[in-house]
Structure 1
């Protein structure tokens, strides 16, 4: 625990000169979402890997006040862990975590930032309307998650995955899901969007998933356009690319990008 924040680590077998990588999870999740796939994959490639659970998430303090936590609070949590690391890490953010990374860049510099199925800098509203019109029942089910009422595994599968999913993994994911901060979701919708003019622009990697129903591929493409960068959309994958059957393809692209931007 670092000042009340749960932090997972996965380190290379031998010490290297590569920068640390800090993973930031998405909504309804925690640092655990990185521990089984991306972290050991990148640690094997020589990168010290860390993942925090933002306040109110996973094993971190603050679950009783989850609805009051803001995006700025989550940015402060990232900064707490960065300060503890002592070396500026490459940031990797998934979904809401990608939004937090963009907000972090308003005031801080890092060696690189990867946005994976990230909420775009324009916010959540377009994604919410797209889901409401394309999959109205799923839209309602996700709202129920916010209130602490969890859907069955089939609904979760529809929301997060596109390919064949191991039932044990799916059940474990459902068991660890939790309510999300309404305040943070409002921040991402309209009240605290990234200030593009204030942001530091390190090397950035922008990745999305073709069959993502929560942050559709066209919004990931919009993010890339905003930053003037290329984008890679992984075919036949859903929002939770960390646990899709073909997740090593995503991790390998992240590894290759890290190799390109770091000594």
Structure 2
């Protein structure tokens, strides 16, 4: 009997790993073996993360990639990776390194080579960039900042509820690394987009996302033009950066499952 495909969910900045809980349950019901490990230094709970931001601080992109690569090494087969925001960038890096069977990158942070930098993305990340010292700190959002960056396509009450339930401080370092990526030949935000042998990749974008506007995701797709490996894009036109955790999460999760069912069968 073939063991179930492992699935690793990778969160992005400002959300705790436990925010993937409904996805983990749905994927388990669908026959996968899912897990949602935190980033290096992430405490086990939202409350602990808020109380101990220093444990989260100063972890960069390479630290996170290495952390998840070690988790993958302990698995019997290559996992499927599902990442949101910076987790989507991490998923792409690991896929490019041939460490995953497939990857789904949801509203993924920009990789090296992506040039568009919409004003809304600058505003969403301003709480970090307004102080250069934040590169080595963990930075929290206010409920108002969270609403602009995540919850602009849902009502204010739901955004505030999601903020109270899942929001945690985030390390500033990955944002500074991504911002400097196109000026750094050895940037940790560089992804092997030309890899012909990697597993299939799905890029999902929210049409109303302030933090990762659709222009960024479309530009990311173009970075893969030199590879014949499966690379597809999917849009949820009325959704924003909260699309993995708000009331419409199941639609995105079920679309992800359907895509995986089709593409894992082809690549097996």
TM-score bracket relative to the smaller structure:
0.7 to 0.9
Q: Counterparts of 1:178 and 1:124 in 2: how far apart (Å)?
A: 27
Residues 102 and 201, structure 2, Cα contact 8 Å, conserved in 1: yes
Offset of residue 207 of structure 1: 0.4
Picking from 21, 25, 28, the partner of 1:40 is 25
Residues 30 and 54, structure 1, Cα contact 8 Å, conserved in 2: no
Picking from 190, 198, 201, the partner of 2:198 is 201
Picking from 236, 239, 242, the partner of 1:237 is 239
Structure 2: runs of 5+ lacking an equivalent: 182-186, 226-230
Partner residue, 1:27: 13
Structure 1 residues 97-106 or 234-243, which shifts more?
97-106
Structure-2 change in CA distance of 1:233 and 1:154 (3 Å): same
Partner residue, 2:86: 96
> What is the TM-score with the length of structure 2 in the denominator?
0.77
Instruction: For residues 193-226 of structure 1, give each alpha carbon's deviation from its aligned partner in whole angstroms, at most 9, with x where no partner exists.
Output: 2243674531111101010000001111111222
Picking from 125, 131, 134, the partner of 2:121 is 131
Residues 150 and 242, structure 2, Cα contact 8 Å, conserved in 1: yes
RMSD: 3.1
**Number of equivalences:** 244
Q: Counterparts of 1:150 and 1:105 in 2: how far apart (Å)?
A: 30
Picking from 53, 63, 69, the partner of 2:38 is 53
Q: What's the secondary structure of 1:39's corresponding residue?
A: helix
Instruction: Establish whether residue 113 from structure 1 lines up as the match of residue 99 from structure 2.
Output: no
Offset of residue 28 of structure 1: 1.9
Structure-2 change in CA distance of 1:149 and 1:111 (3 Å): closer
Q: Counterparts of 2:162 and 2:246 in 1: how far apart (Å)?
A: 14
> What is the TM-score with the length of structure 1 in the denominator?
0.79
Partner residue, 1:155: 145
Residues 138 and 172, structure 2, Cα contact 8 Å, conserved in 1: no
Q: Counterparts of 1:219 and 1:115 in 2: how far apart (Å)?
A: 12
Structure-2 change in CA distance of 1:40 and 1:123 (3 Å): farther
Partner residue, 1:184: 174
Structure 1: runs of 5+ lacking an equivalent: 1-14
